[in-house]
Structure 1
Amino acid sequence: MPVDPEYIEQLVLEEITGTISPEDSITLKRLLEQEPEAYAIWQRLHRQLTGAYIRSVRDNLPEDLPVEQVFATLRRRRRRKIFTGSLGVAASLLALVLVYKIMLPEHEPVLPAPIPSFALKTVALQLPGGQLLHLGSTQQQIVDGITFRETAGTLSWSGANPSQLARVIVPPGKDYTLHLPDGTEVKLNAATTIEMPLAFGRSREVTVKGEAYFQVAKNREKPFLVRLPKSTVQVLGTSFNVNTYDSSQVRVALESGAVKMRTNDGDVLLQPGKAVRYHPGTRPIAAGFDAHAVLSWKSGYYVFENTTVSEIADVIERTYRVKVILDSKATAEKTYSSRLEKGAPLEKFLERLKTLNNINYQFENGNSIVHLLYRP
């Protein structure tokens, strides 16, 4: 399909500033997946609007410019054409918004904008200076005095300080394990991002988008905090799973120990064997969960128990790096009980789905897109 560069730039700028709507976010993701020109624009803007450029704009800002004025200008700009030149007015305005949005002193660490997980083929470590280390080589790497080591799919490091932030990005079809400096182990599922300091100072805090399983090292002096969308999980030492793939809910399942989930709608204390699905705007409530189904991803497969094909499609996309299109509402609502082996060919799973549930499949665009259609 034809790509309008100005429209793509508009979406990317709104994504960076956090003003993009859910609908536009879906549109941008689809364009980045399917249109090389759109991804090239995304790369250019993210590269140009971080680091030294933002600092230079910050240095030249008038101290009395009201933040309300900046955001009012951005709102008026919405859906207008963007004229960037090399960077231009839109980029300058974006820089103003970023500066006023973060409101951070110069000494506080700031990471570059994240790279979408689907844009990577290997697990990557993004460092404060913008360096991107591709992981999986099992080789030791030294960057800015920090020694990174990989052993059997697990990354550990030494020589860092709390002012250094990092981001680990796991693409679809992969998973990865981190051994944090405090002894905590984190297993990251496909299409997951974690942000963290490379060394813990007075606190232990990380931010997760996607799915991760934590085995937290005990330290009563420093509770471990996992930041999730509109909620926080606080622990001392325990094993638990967090899942934020669905933007409308946050799921936390506790295997051992105890955790407190803090939200704007109330707090809930979880005991082993309990889980919570938090929908912003409703009070979180703990309930039992099937540990085999929820945690099976750590063992290399997914368990489906009366799971809708709509949910299964999301798992297929993350596992096989394909776009799944459901060709009818009946297809999306059909349920299925079985399992999906991460290392097995996708066709094998789809054939079983076709045999047991009468759901036909068809690949297109070099097998990067698969259509599913229920035929009674």
Structure 2
Amino acid sequence: MPVDPEYIEQLVLEEIAGTISPEDSITLKDLVENNPDAYAIWLRMHRRLTGDHIQSMREDLPDTLPLSQIIRVARERKRRKILARTSLSVAAVLLLTASVCYKLLFPAFKPVSPGTGPSFALKSVMLQLPDGRSFQLGSGQQQFKAVGNIFRSTSGKLSWSGGGTESQLATIIVPPGKDYIVQLPDGTEVMLNAASRLEFPLAFAHHRNIRISGEAYLRVAKEGNRPFRVQLPNSVVEVLGTSFNVNTYEGTQERVLLETGSVKLLTADGNILLDPGQAVSYQPGKAPEAFSGDTAMALAWKRGYYSFQGTSVRDVSKVMERNYSIRVILDDVAAGEQLYSSRLEKGEELEKFLIRLKSIVKIDYQFEKGDSVLHLSYRP
């Protein structure tokens, strides 16, 4: 069903500002859960208007903007409703609107890794095509024709034929609790983990460039005359033919683990070449350094489970959020500092996992808002 983008943007803006009414909240939840286009708008706006990156952007903005400019933008975007209903201070409203104006004027702001989706996040993998159309991809067999190509989705894997150009960019969005494989035009396979995103051209010509946020395992087809480049939020991985894992779930830190072949990580703080079995963790402002990586543990997600060895419950909770599409709140510092050694099966029921977690570490748990928010607390 078609949606009015401006109406969705207004609802999402009110949700972020904390001024959305219960009725509109229910409407937004239904739209995001059942309409891929609405979910795409929700995801884009949450990426741009929430998190640490938006705070740093706000610090660079003037304290206020001319009132006439604010009202004009609000009228053009049909968002005047938020100005009348918001419970925030006037300064906060102006600041939020200024952020929106800034993003409209400067759309090239550096992308960030997707955060954990909400409880009403999209249930299926979504394909966004260059012509603006979106398709939900299931685990069965699908075939459809669009933008001059025939797309086939079979057993959780997408491929296509028919041509295209490097300028035709498509996007795959994988929701929490899912994973998906994309076979690119050169034969390269990209396996995306939960809550991840892949941007790619429908055809490769002189270059083989893609963009990934989240986590993915790549098996790159070797072509000596066309290097393969993976753009991450803060760095670029350059390869010829190899298999490796990238992880950008932590917005300020990116990890690359090489399984076979050779890759080079290119950053603003220096470049580094990896050998098989090596990994690198990069944070902007610090020179990247290679270390010996645990390949089996890092790639366990490809085999259907997550492996933990002396892992803090704080880090385990982040995996739980991506696997179960819930929000996890640590009620005290001690709960997050508990160390957990076991595994989490991707298809395992949440309650079953929590019982095992509780038996191993000193925590209690309780749910809020049905089953969408989980509280973990320390148990002396």
User: What range is the shorter-chain TM-score in?
Assistant: 0.7 to 0.9
1:154 corresponds in structure 2 to 157
CA offsets, 1:89-139, max 9 Å, x none? 999996786465459xxxxxxxxxx99955311000011222111001411
- Which consecutive unaligned segments of at least 5 residues does structure 1 have? 13-23, 51-71, 104-113
Question: How large is the RMSD of aligned CA atoms in angstroms?
Answer: 3.7
Aligned mates of 2:98, 2:368 — CA distance in 1: 41
Q: 5 Å matches for 1:287-298?
A: 287-298=291-302
Which residue identity lines up with residue 121 of structure 1 in the other structure?
K
Tell me, in whole angstroms, the C-alpha distance in 1 between the residues paired with 2:39 and 2:353: 38
Secondary structure in 2 aligned to 1:325? Answer: strand
Sort the Cα spacing of 1:9 and 1:145 in 2 relative to 1 into closer, same or farther, 3 A.
same
Q: Which amino acid aligns with 1:347?
A: E
Alpha-carbon distance between aligned partners in 1 of 2:14 and 2:62, rounded to the nearest angstrom: 11
Q: 1:253 to 1:331 in 2, by over 3 A?
A: same
| Cα drift, residue 153 of structure 1 | 1.1
Counterparts of 1:7 and 1:78 in 2: how far apart (Å)?
Answer: 24
- 2:144 matched residue in structure 1: 141
SS class of match (1:139): strand
Q: Which residue of 1 aligns with 2:126?
A: 124
Structure 2 residue 339 is matched with structure 1 residue 335: yes
Partner residue of 2:272 out of 262, 268, 273:
268
Is 1:359–2:363 an aligned residue pair?
yes
Could you tell which deviates more after superposition, 304-313 or 92-101?
A: 92-101
CA distance in 2, matches of 1:7, 1:213: 35
State the shift of 1:201 in Å: 1.6
Q: Which residue of 2 aligns with 1:256?
A: 260
| 8 A Cα contact 2:253 2:282, kept in partner | yes
Give the share of equivalent positions with the same residue, in percent: 46
Partner SS, residue 310 of structure 1: helix
Aligned to 2:353: 349
Q: Secondary structure at the match of 1:213?
A: strand
User: CA separation of 1:306/1:208 partners in 2, compared to 1, >3 Å: closer, same or farther?
Assistant: same
Under a length normalisation based on structure 1, what TM-score does the superposition of the two structures give? 0.76
Quickly say closer, same or farther: Cα 1:181–1:313, change in 2 above 3 A.
same
What residue is the counterpart of 2:196 in the other structure? 192
Q: Is the contact between residue 270 and residue 288 of structure 2 (CA under 8 Å) also seen in structure 1? A: yes
Q: Distance in 1 between matches of 2:222 and 2:357?
A: 44
Q: Distance in 2 between matches of 1:295 and 1:195?
A: 22
Deviation at 1:187, TM superposition (A): 0.3
Q: Which runs of 5+ in 2 are unaligned?
A: 1-8, 46-59, 81-96
**Superposition map of 1:207-218 within 5 A:** 207-218=211-222
The aligned residue for residue 87 of structure 2 is none
CA distance in 2 between partners of 1:124 and 1:235 (Å): 27
**Stretch of structure 1 that moved more, 170-179 or 350-359:** 350-359
The superposition leaves residues 272-320 of structure 1 with CA deviations (integer Å, 9 ceiling, x where unpaired) of 0000010111100000011111000000000001111111001001001
Amino acid at match of 1:153: G
Aligned-residue offset at 1:161: 2.3
Decide whether the 8 Å contact of 1:172 with 1:319 is kept in 2: yes
Partner SS, residue 319 of structure 1? helix
Shift of 1:7: 10
Report the residue type matching 2:75 in the other structure: G
* Residue 170 (1) aligns with residue 174 (2): yes
Whole-angstrom distance in 2 between the partners of 1:291 and 1:93: 41
Change (3 A) 1:299 1:37: same
Name the stretch that deviates more: 206-215 or 124-133: 124-133
Q: Is the Cα contact below 8 Å between 2:309 and 2:342 reproduced in 1?
A: yes
2:77 is the counterpart of 1:87: yes
**Partner Cα distance (1:365, 1:168) in 2:** 30
Residue-by-residue CA offset, 1:311-360 (whole Å, 9 max, x unaligned): 10010010011111111001111111100001111111111111111211
> Which stretch of structure 1 is more off in the superposition, 288-297 or 158-167?
158-167
Q: How does 1:9-28 map to 2 (within 5 A)?
A: 9=13
2:126–2:135 Cα contact (<8 Å) kept: yes
User: Matches of 1:225 and 1:218 in 2, distance apart?
Assistant: 12
Partner of 1:183: 187
Give how far 1:152 is off: 1.6
Q: Secondary structure at the match of 1:85?
A: helix
| C-alpha spacing 1:195/1:77, structure 2 compared with 1 (3 Å) | farther
Instruction: Give the Cα separation in 1 of the matches to 2:14 and 2:231.
Output: 29
The 8 Å contact of residues 215 and 239 in structure 1, kept in 2 or not, is answered as yes
* Paired residue type of 1:134: Q
From 292, 314, 318, the equivalent of 1:310 is 314
- Find the aligned partners of 1:250 and 1:329 in 2 and give their Cα distance: 25
Q: How many residues align?
A: 324
Give the structure, 1 or 2, with the largest relative contact order (CA under 8 Å, sep 6 or more).
Answer: 2
More displaced 10-residue stretch of structure 1: 366-375 or 237-246 = 366-375
The answer as to 2:325 corresponding to 1:325 is: no
Query: In the TM superposition, what whole-angstrom CA distance separates every residue of 1:230-249 from its partner, at most 9, and x where no partner exists?
Result: 11000000000000000120
Distance 1:156 1:7, change over 3 A: closer
* Deviation for aligned residue 1:364: 2.3
